[in-house]
Amino acid sequence: MKIIPFYKNERQLIKKAIDGNREAQRVLYAKHAPKMLSVCRQYIKDTHFAEDVMIQGFVKMFNHLESFKFQGSFEGWVRRIMIRESISFLRKQQFVVYDDAIFEDNQPNFSEVVSDLDTEHIQRLIDALPQGYKMVFVLYTVEGYKHQEIAKMLDITESTSKSQLFKARKMLQEQLQQQNIIGYGTR
C-alpha cells in the first residue's frame, strides 16, 4: 500500500489547522509532540508533569496559532511556548529558588565532559540541580538564550542568571568528578 501525504508542506498544514481542521491539528501534534515533551522534560523532572505541561502548551499553541506569522521556524515558535509553559508551571509550584550570590569569573569548563555520556545519565545529573540552577543552565546551554534574555524571562537580574549558571556548572562538574567521568577519554 502506498501512503500519500495528506499535506504537501508544513505551511499548508498550519493554515488548515488555523482553519480548525482537526486532522491537520492532529498531524501537527503528532509531528511535534515527541520533541516538545523532551523540551518540557528538560525543565520538569517528573515525566507525568512534563506531559501535562506539554499538553497545556499545545492547547495554548492551537489557541494562538493564527499569531504565527510564518517568519522563522514553526518548531522554534512551538518550542518557545513549551519553555514558557514549563517555567510557568515551575513558578506555580514554587520550586524555583534563586541564589543572588556574586558571580565569579573563574567558571569551570563544562565542555571537558565527554560527549558520549549516556543522555539519561546527563539528564539525571541536570535533574539533581536545584531548580533555579537547572532552569538557567538549560535556557543558556541547551536553548542558547543570552543572560539578558534569561533575566527577562525569569524576572531576575542578569548577574543572578550568570551566578546560577556558574553554580550549576560547578555542581555538575563536581558530580562528574565524583563519578570519575571528567577527563575520561580526553587527551
Mean pLDDT by 10 residues, the chain (187 residues): 57 93 94 94 91 96 94 93 93 62 43 54 86 91 91 91 93 84 48
Per-residue pLDDT, 107: 43
Residue 177 grid coordinates: 568528578
Per-residue pLDDT, 79: 95
CB environment 33-55: b (16+ within 10 A), e (fewer): beebbebbbbbbbeeebbeebbb
- Residue 68, φ and ψ in degrees, nearest 5: -75, 125
Q: What is the pTM of this model?
A: 0.67
Of the candidates 133, 54, 135, the one whose C-alpha atom is nearest the C-alpha of residue 87 is 135
45 DSSP assignment = S
In the chain, the N- to C-terminal Cα span, in Å, equals 52
Per-residue pLDDT, 179: 78
